[in-house]
Chain A
Amino acid sequence: MADLAVRNDPHVRPRLVEGDPSLHQVTEAVSSIIETRTPYSWWIAIAITASIAGVLKLCLGWLVYNGIGVWGNNQPIAWAWDITNFVFWIGIGHAGTLISAILFLFRQKWRTSINRFAEAMTLFAVACAGIFPLFHTGRPWRAYWLFPVPNTDLYMWPNFRSPLVWDVFAVSTYATVSALFWYVGLVPDLATIRDRAKTKGRKIAYGVLSLGWRGSARHWRNYEMAYLVLAGISTPLVLSVHSVVSFDFAASLLPGWHTTIFPPYFVAGAIFSGFAMVVTLMVVARWVFKVEHLVTMKHLENMNKIMLATGTVVGYAYASEFFIAWYSGNPYEKFTFLNRAFGPYWWAYTLMVSCNVISPQFFWFKKLRTSIPFMFVISLVVNVGMWFERFVIIGTSLHRDFMPSAWGYYHPTIIDMLTFFGTFGLFLTLFLLFLRFLPMIAVSEVKGMMATQKMHDAHLEAVAQAVEH
């Protein structure tokens, strides 16, 4: 009765955990996933993804053996799918940190159910992204020259004016910090798994991983401080990473690249694609692992709202690029953008706009926003669109720049395609391992969130009873 009153009260947020489970049930729900016997379906899945990752390995081997020529890159399109894939994956890698850091700072309680998942995704996406800057070099075995390695031999240092060196700093920092952030979050949950472990092997394995965590109040004290600071520094970090990636283009003088709008535009795009990927994976995972009550429609809907917002920002960026191209009166700029939209790559451009700007607009409607199959499809569409956004930016700007005599066109080779395809294999393989061996939901955080919610409810009940009298 009173309960009902509360539920119907518009001022009360819908619950982030449904069915009002006990803390123990939460622990069960999450832990049991990795404690039960490995299902055959998992073996089959990882067999497939691992072999796809194998394809990636072969492609890279062939690439290193023969040279960049096995890809379709040419003059003038010296960067093509390689950097496109890099930016694509890096972009996807942004949702995780965003959720764990920024939403944390904004005290967005709903993040707790999905942040672990998203952080894992971040790590694996960054791992895939990292492949390309390394292997797109003509002599990968010399790529360490991009790092400021002290050397007694050459007396040479990287050129710190180059956006690529900024990239090296940004991406490596981002990968490291995300990994730390992720692990710190894992420690208490690993302790939980440790204490539930039955076999000696698991006991030792999780015992070592959890570093002997025991949830002492003193630990929690420092822990929360560390977590807060990590969130605090990760927020500017995550924004800086994609800004720096955008500098690769913005800092050049190529029409279509040399644009001040790039940093915010890229960050928005990154968040956009990142959330799309989270939705794609989450929709599947929550269904497979029966955690719908922990990852509720509320979570998904919020993510869809964010996609709607960022998608619209991206659309605005596309529009303003055109406006500036016209308004600047720079003939090269003007040409580049007309060429983008109506030139040889018109199809890529059209695809990009329809996927990234139009498709998310459906999320204005709550009905669609809360329809699992629909959001799944849209999230896939958005991922496609965002890949094409990067290709359009790189490809169409390069293939026709200042000198018509040097214009060209780009045809991907089979190696190009298989390499990109292979990265998905790597990504999913890592993901399956994560789902198998680590708690996919931040148990302790969820519990903490539930506890506060319970207090909140208790308070409301009191109020409700007061009203009844």
Chain B
Amino acid sequence: MIQIKTKQTGKKYWRSLDQLAQTPAFMEWLHREFPSSAEEVIDGASRRNVLKLMAASFGLAGLTACRRPVEHILPNVKGVEDYIPGKPYFYATAMVHNGVAQGLLAEVNDGRPTKIEGNPEHPFSLGAANVFQQAAILGLYDPDRARSPRQDGKDVDWKVLDDALKTLSGSLGQGDGLRFLSESVTSPSFAAVQAAALAKFPKAKWIQYDAISQDEVRAGSQLAFGQQLVVRPRFDKAKVILALDSDFLGLDADTVLSVKEFSRGRKVAAETDEMSRLYVVESRFSTTGATADHRIKMRASEIKAFVSDLAAALKVGGNELKVVGQGDKKSKWIEAVAKDLGANRGKGLVVAGPRQPAAVHAMVHLINQALGNAGETVTYYKSTLEQTRPQLEAIAELAGELSKGQVSTLVILGGNPAYSAPVDLDLAANIKKVATSIYVGLDVDETAVACKWSIAEAHFLESWGDALAPDGTATIQQPMIAPLYYGRTQAEIVAALTGYKDQRPYDIVRNYWTAKFAKGDADKLWRHALHDGVIPNTTFAEVKPVVDAKKVNGAIQPAAQSASGMELVFTPNWATWDGRFANNGWLQEIPEPMSKITWDNAALVSPATAKQLGLSTHGWMVKGYKATDTEGHSDPTQAGNFVDMIQIEVDGRTLEAPVFVQPGQADGSITLALGYGRTECGHVAKGAGVNAYKLRTSKAPWIVADAKVSKIAKQYQIVQTQEHGTMEDRPLLRESTLAEYRKEPNVIKEMLEVPELVGLYGDWDYSKGNQWGMTIDLNACVGCNACTIACQAENNIPIVGKDQVNRGREMHWIRMDRYFVGDEEEPQAVMSPVPCMQCETAPCENVCPVAATTHSPEGLNDMAYNRCVGTRYCSNNCPYKVRRFNFLAWNYGTPEVEMMKFNPDVTVRMRGVMEKCTYCVQRIQETKIQAKLEGHRPIKDGEIQTACQQTCPADAIVFGNINDPNSGVSKLKKQKRNYGMLEELNTKPRTTYLAKLRNTNEELEAKHG
């Protein structure tokens, strides 16, 4: 039913756009507006001039005010049951990320999915979504997606493919020489197809490989428990948390739940409230480290020693190792943490990052068990989809077979292994040796090029499927729109190849589940499953395993440290993850939370290491107007962001990479993000970053103990959205410690002394009706950028490209500020989103000569784009610098298909006008009208959610009516932590902040922040 609906309307829209594009009116307009038609609307450097100019309906509609081209209305031919044109519908679905599924809701406007939200019903979303999920919309409409099957690099008709598959499946026999290479299978129905395939072809093999694999985690649990278990930490229950090289609030979080739960433990309403404490030990300065109450930097390879010392300090198991060769600071640290954990038995929690070796994970399990945390703050599940075989081992074997020519048919299902597999396996070359190689993928990527056949895959928003959350909760993945390019799902292809009983993806999924449901009301249950986005009672069985302390203690014996060489650590990244999102402009342009770099990756090194390597150092701690700090670090603004480049060598293989000096980075350790430097990719990804996979071998997939590094005579311009790292002692983002706050709750307000602020005229009366306001809780915010992307999707915010970001023209309405605090040795960071403050006495309004920005009776700082003439005076006079100007025609370049992403409730701004956050006024208006229709009822608190608030995994952003004393936002504004940024200017901001509190341990407090 739904599929039919979306198909129909989807196609309708599609068709109408085509027609519009051919109308003489449009053609005439196109030529009138762009005499040079297609090429060069924007200056050469922009990434957009390569996309051809097809600004169809939006630009056209914008002009109908003055000219009147004939415009057609194309109604449905057959009425669609309870479907109202122009009204958005929400459907539940799920997105698989990092091997697990998270439930989502997709907003569909006239058959076009336009916005992703978290599914409140889903236990691992609770209404929130992360950057990758938010940006999926743009991925769906990516004009560079594979559009048809390709045979030997040439597009062919689907018919040709189907015939080829038929003949091939006939010729497979017992399936010797038949190999399947997929990513981790997370879909039960697909697993069924897989099982059927392997049953039909007993000689065939199925290899699962993820570039960002959980091998070590699995091995760890195998080592500790003798079985593979899913570990489920419960950060909301823990009072003391120790994260060992684990960015569980950032890149190592598989769903948003970890942030949700953690932030619950950090919310402080009254001064008396309890608050969890977070210790972080890590090599890279992650957002988790920035959130930590105490953090020390440490080379990733020393964590193993650290954890065994910690175990020793905790007297865990038989391990009686003495703390040796440890700096005084570190041992103090260990003692303090051990004491704290010991004091909080059953309320503590230790977690380790997936990069750490199995032994570390095992020891973590041991510690958690010894401290009685197991079962309390961490629970274990037995997965139904477990992978007994280490992925690296499996793919290595496959590579061997390939090179020996033992494989006749290779079916690769997504994942782009030719790009992301360990470099020493040389997969790209080996694939070419196979007689029949088939690739199913979204893009024409490195693997697609290597294979004989490549098949356009259906995007998850286009296809039927299902997937499991970390705890096994199953979700049906339903399509929001018919496949734009008739793409196929992986299951569909395998089913076709292996003659599975069901061929259509819909049948594959539905029949699998209805078979599981109780016979009678299978249909009803199925409908419920679709509606809720959750299938009840599908969670894995919880188990209470026992750790084999002996084995663990045996494994943990630290090998001789090779502290000599430079350590190289690989991580996924915030923009492209493992490279799969490389062509997604929203993600490419989102700044990396700590370094604020966009459109690139860089080798992160500590200032000390940089000096040691003789590299020019950008001092992100440089203070004041000076060009350099005492250390001689130059201020990046003045260095023009040109950085040195180094050559990194890992057993014979070399890579040239730009260096970025990151305070808080462990000395002697380089962090390099995977997923950049794509070669076979779309326009957006071209030239973005360097390919770290070139150094990643199956021997050392995460941590290279001794990489050779040398400076080379090259420079590279990296681009950031924020170039100055320090707050200049200005009380912008305020923080204190929990202890101090309890002693003197007014400490936050007292950070600023202002004389009584009086205006020249009386204040305007905002005491009646709805008065919108917002609070942002710095204590909860982990700087994950989800709000920025959500805003970008909701408000049709354009992408500007690396060159334009470099010119300081990024368009994000809600930007993420990051300031370093504390000493340069062990810096801390505070982060916060900065949207428009909706000042009651808005400085921007006074100076606008044409009254394009004015105040609404409900306290909004309205911005009428169609009135703006673009003097930019408002931006100059905005102390928060949150206004964004369309310096060039960002939207004229948008290809037709990409325009389907636009939110119809928000104007697509033209060149030359100013724009800014409006508290999602379109949502406010919709709700107000709805309330009117329902008999002028008052609007309920929380009924209106801004896009940023809705998606925030930390619930840091709260929006509502400040006139209603019982609304969430008014309650928060009553807190002592509440303050207005730059309130001394008497701008009366409606958006206020709740100061950050660090729950410090006084034992460590004395030593350092």
Name A's B-contacting residues (CB within 8 A): 66-70, 72-79, 136-140, 142-143, 145-146, 154, 156-159, 161-165, 168, 248, 251-254, 331-332, 335, 338-339, 342-344, 398, 400-409, 411
A77 and B871 CA atoms in complex are apart in Å by 12
Q: Which residue of A lies closest to B875 (CB)?
A: A78
Name B's A-contacting residues (CB within 8 A): 41-43, 624-627, 635, 637-638, 640, 722-730, 732, 804, 807-810, 815, 817-819, 834, 843, 845-851, 867-873, 875-877, 879-881, 883-889, 910-914, 982, 985
Give the residues in chain B near A136, CB-CB below 8 Å: 871-872
Give the residues in chain B near A251, CB-CB below 8 Å: 846-847
A159 near B851: Cβ-Cβ < 8 Å: yes
A400 and B635 CA atoms in complex are apart in Å by 13
A331 and B725 CA atoms in complex are apart in Å by 18
16 examples of A-B residue contacts, CB within 8 angstroms: A66-B888, A67-B889, A68-B872, A69-B888, A75-B883, A79-B876, A136-B872, A138-B911, A159-B845, A252-B877, A254-B877, A335-B625, A344-B627, A401-B879, A404-B819, A405-B834
Q: How far is the CB of A316 from chain B (nearest CB, A)?
A: 24
Give the residues in chain A near B843, CB-CB below 8 Å: 252-253
Q: Kindly name the residue among B723, B849, B873 whose own CB sees the greatest number of chain A CB atoms within 10 A.
A: B849
A342 near B625: Cβ-Cβ < 8 Å: yes
B808 near A75: Cβ-Cβ < 8 Å: yes
Apart from A67-B911, A75-B884, list 4 A-B contacts with CB within 8 A: A138-B869, A161-B846, A343-B625, A403-B732
Give the residues in chain B near A73, CB-CB below 8 Å: 872, 887
B728 near A404: Cβ-Cβ < 8 Å: yes
Q: Which residue of B lies closest to A64 (CB)?
A: B912
- Given A66-B42, A159-B850, A164-B873: A138 in contact with B912 (beta carbons within 8 A): yes
A146 near B42: Cβ-Cβ < 8 Å: no
Give the residues in chain A near B851, CB-CB below 8 Å: 156-159
B886 near A138: Cβ-Cβ < 8 Å: yes
Give the residues in chain A near B869, CB-CB below 8 Å: 137-140, 142-143, 145-146
Give the residues in chain A near B886, CB-CB below 8 Å: 67, 138
A99 and B834 CA atoms in complex are apart in Å by 52
A73 and B885 CA atoms in complex are apart in Å by 10
Determine which of A75, A159, A407 lies in contact with B885 in the assembled complex, contact meaning CB atoms within 8 Å. Answer: A75
- Given A69-B887, A139-B870, A164-B871: A77 in contact with B808 (beta carbons within 8 A): yes
A145 near B867: Cβ-Cβ < 8 Å: yes
Determine which of A342, A398, A406 lies in contact with B626 in the assembled complex, contact meaning CB atoms within 8 Å. Answer: A342
- Given A69-B42, A78-B875, A138-B868: A402 in contact with B848 (beta carbons within 8 A): no
A338 and B625 CA atoms in complex are apart in Å by 7
Q: Which residue of A lies closest to B910 (CB)?
A: A139
Q: For chains A and B in complex, what number of residue pairs have CB atoms within 8 angstroms? A: 198
A66 near B724: Cβ-Cβ < 8 Å: no
Give the residues in chain A near B732, CB-CB below 8 Å: 402-404
A252 and B627 CA atoms in complex are apart in Å by 28
A74 and B808 CA atoms in complex are apart in Å by 5
A393 and B781 CA atoms in complex are apart in Å by 37
A253 near B881: Cβ-Cβ < 8 Å: no
A253 near B985: Cβ-Cβ < 8 Å: yes
Give the residues in chain B near A404, CB-CB below 8 Å: 724-728, 730, 732, 819
Determine which of A76, A138, A252, A335 lies in contact with B808 in the assembled complex, contact meaning CB atoms within 8 Å. Answer: A76
Determine which of B624, B627, B845 lies in contact with A335 in the assembled complex, contact meaning CB atoms within 8 Å. Answer: B624
Give the residues in chain A near B873, CB-CB below 8 Å: 78-79, 162, 164, 248, 252
Determine which of A139, A168, A402 lies in contact with B880 in the assembled complex, contact meaning CB atoms within 8 Å. Answer: A402
B626 near A138: Cβ-Cβ < 8 Å: no
Q: How far is the CB of B593 from chain A (nearest CB, A)?
A: 13
Give the residues in chain B near A161, CB-CB below 8 Å: 846-847
Determine which of A69, A72, A142, A403 lies in contact with B881 in the assembled complex, contact meaning CB atoms within 8 Å. Answer: A403
B879 near A402: Cβ-Cβ < 8 Å: yes
Q: How far is the CB of B633 from chain A (nearest CB, A)?
A: 15
B850 near A408: Cβ-Cβ < 8 Å: no
Q: Kindly name the residue among A159, A248, A401 whose own CB sees the greatest number of chain B CB atoms within 10 A.
A: A159
Give the residues in chain B near A69, CB-CB below 8 Å: 42-43, 804, 807, 809, 887-888
B809 near A405: Cβ-Cβ < 8 Å: no
Q: Which residue of A lies closest to B850 (CB)?
A: A145
- Given A159-B849, A251-B847: A405 in contact with B867 (beta carbons within 8 A): no
A162 near B846: Cβ-Cβ < 8 Å: yes
Q: How far is the CB of A467 from chain B (nearest CB, A)?
A: 67
Give the residues in chain B near A254, CB-CB below 8 Å: 876-877, 879
Give the residues in chain B near A408, CB-CB below 8 Å: 637, 723, 808
Q: Kindly name the residue among B834, B843, B869, B914 whose own CB sees the greatest number of chain A CB atoms within 10 A.
A: B869
Give the residues in chain B near A162, CB-CB below 8 Å: 846-849, 873
A75 and B876 CA atoms in complex are apart in Å by 9
A200 and B821 CA atoms in complex are apart in Å by 83
- Given A74-B809, A138-B912: A66 in contact with B43 (beta carbons within 8 A): yes
Give the residues in chain A near B985, CB-CB below 8 Å: 253, 402
Give the residues in chain A near B848, CB-CB below 8 Å: 159, 162
Give the residues in chain B near A332, CB-CB below 8 Å: 730
- Given A75-B885, A145-B850: A138 in contact with B730 (beta carbons within 8 A): no
Give the residues in chain A near B876, CB-CB below 8 Å: 76, 78-79, 252, 254, 398
The 10 A-B residue pairs whose C-beta atoms are closest, nearest first, are A138-B870, A138-B912, A74-B808, A69-B887, A406-B881, A69-B888, A78-B872, A339-B625, A343-B625, A164-B849
Q: How far is the CB of A267 from chain B (nearest CB, A)?
A: 22
B885 near A156: Cβ-Cβ < 8 Å: no
Q: Kindly name the residue among B850, B868, B884, B889 whose own CB sees the greatest number of chain A CB atoms within 10 A.
A: B850
Give the residues in chain A near B885, CB-CB below 8 Å: 68, 75, 78, 138
A138 near B872: Cβ-Cβ < 8 Å: yes
A159 and B867 CA atoms in complex are apart in Å by 12
Determine which of B817, B850, B914 lies in contact with A403 in the assembled complex, contact meaning CB atoms within 8 Å. Answer: B817
- Given A79-B876, A138-B872, A253-B985: A401 in contact with B912 (beta carbons within 8 A): no
A335 near B728: Cβ-Cβ < 8 Å: yes
Q: Which residue of B lies closest to A394 (CB)?
A: B876
Give the residues in chain A near B41, CB-CB below 8 Å: 66
B730 near A338: Cβ-Cβ < 8 Å: no
Q: How far is the CB of B722 from chain A (nearest CB, A)?
A: 5
Give the residues in chain A near B640, CB-CB below 8 Å: 409
B888 near A67: Cβ-Cβ < 8 Å: yes
Give the residues in chain A near B913, CB-CB below 8 Å: 138-139
Q: How far is the CB of A116 from chain B (nearest CB, A)?
A: 35
A342 and B638 CA atoms in complex are apart in Å by 12
A161 and B842 CA atoms in complex are apart in Å by 13
B730 near A74: Cβ-Cβ < 8 Å: no
Determine which of B43, B810, B872 lies in contact with A70 in the assembled complex, contact meaning CB atoms within 8 Å. Answer: B43
Give the residues in chain B near A137, CB-CB below 8 Å: 869-871, 912
A315 and B356 CA atoms in complex are apart in Å by 64
- Given A343-B625, A344-B637: A156 in contact with B849 (beta carbons within 8 A): no
A74 and B876 CA atoms in complex are apart in Å by 11
Give the residues in chain A near B42, CB-CB below 8 Å: 66, 69
Q: Which residue of B lies closest to A143 (CB)?
A: B869
A67 near B887: Cβ-Cβ < 8 Å: yes
Q: How far is the CB of B805 from chain A (nearest CB, A)?
A: 10
A434 and B818 CA atoms in complex are apart in Å by 58
Give the residues in chain A near B846, CB-CB below 8 Å: 159, 161-162, 251
Q: How far is the CB of A269 from chain B (nearest CB, A)?
A: 20
Q: Which residue of A lies closest to B864 (CB)?
A: A156
A142 and B885 CA atoms in complex are apart in Å by 16
A74 and B875 CA atoms in complex are apart in Å by 10
Q: Which residue of B lies closest to A344 (CB)?
A: B638
Give the residues in chain A near B819, CB-CB below 8 Å: 404-405
- Given A74-B808, A409-B637: A168 in contact with B850 (beta carbons within 8 A): no
Determine which of A68, A140, A253 lies in contact with B879 in the assembled complex, contact meaning CB atoms within 8 Å. Answer: A253
Give the residues in chain A near B879, CB-CB below 8 Å: 253-254, 401-403
A138 and B877 CA atoms in complex are apart in Å by 17
B877 near A76: Cβ-Cβ < 8 Å: no
A124 and B762 CA atoms in complex are apart in Å by 45
Q: Kindly name the residue among B43, B845, B912, B982 whose own CB sees the greatest number of chain A CB atoms within 10 A.
A: B912
